[in-house]
Structure 1
Amino acid sequence: MESLRRAQQIFEDAGVSVELREGSRDPAVSIIETADKIDADTICIAGRKRSPAGNVLFGSVSQSVILNTDRPVLTCDPVET
């Protein structure tokens, strides 16, 4: 949750409204269902820091979200503070 709170602070400092949600189900399913429920314009996912070889493939949650939603998905590097 610490990384989420850091991301929330960065967004709020930039004037973007943020609402955090928690769940205990499969993360990819939860992300997609929540995006559908709130009619999100875009899903943004930050992956873990990986080696150059590891960057070739997305993590399993990111890949599942990308492949199982009709919404645009923005992937980015994790925020370093």
Structure 2
Amino acid sequence: MERGLVLVEQTVDHLDLLAEAVEHALGADADLVLLATITHDQFEDDTQMLETIGHLENTSYDTSSVLDRAVADVRSFVADEIPDDVDVTIVARATDDPGQALLDVGDEHGCDHAFVLGSHRSPTGKALFGDVAQQVALNFDGYVTLATQ
């Protein structure tokens, strides 16, 4: 692994997944890319709120401030989880398809290993199900580590 990619949501399960990715990164002297996603509805709501605040303050806020806030939230959430010797890039995307966003960010950043949470196992216990997990497992061009919630 040269560069791992982790879809990060602010849950304990995602911290566990991140810990596994960090362990891989330390062992392989690799970098990590963390992806934060917000829905298009969240993005629009937050953008409208910033426009309202900007109007009240007689200033303006760029829509990139919404994504910057998502990056800052992830940075704060993972601050104690990542050692200084692991290089980390945090990327935020507004999307209603986090699986596709993960695939796109993986391509853009040259990631060769993705870490994803799946929702549950199949009745036989062999396959992980969940829209994002399946999409990434089937379409990511590299290794995929799937964990269950």
Gaps of 5+ in 2: 1-8, 19-77
Equivalent residues in 2 for 1:54-73 (5 A)? 56-73=127-144
Residue 41 (structure 1) aligned to one of 112, 125, 148: 112
Identity between Structure 1 and Structure 2 (%): 22
Tell me which structure has the larger Cα radius of gyration. 2
Residues 57/46 of structure 1: CA separation in 2 closer, same or farther (3 Å cut):
closer
| SS of corresponding position for 2:116 | strand
Cα RMSD over matched residues? 3.1
CA-CA distance at 1:12 after TM superposition: 0.9
| SS of corresponding position for 1:65 | helix
Residue 2 (structure 1) aligned to one of 10, 14, 19: 10
Q: How many matched pairs? A: 77
Output the CA distance in 1 between the equivalents of 2:79 and 2:148. Answer: 17
Gaps of 5+ in 1: none
Deviations 1:20-56 (A, max 9, x none): 22212211111001001111120111234x4885x65
Task: For CA contacts below 8 A with separation 6 or more, give which structure has more relative contact order.
Answer: 1
> Which residue pairs with 2:86 in the alignment?
16
The amino acid across from 2:83 in the alignment is D
TM-score by length of 1: 0.65
* Structure in which a larger fraction of residues adopt strand: 2
| SS of corresponding position for 2:135 | helix
CA-CA distance at 1:67 after TM superposition: 1.0
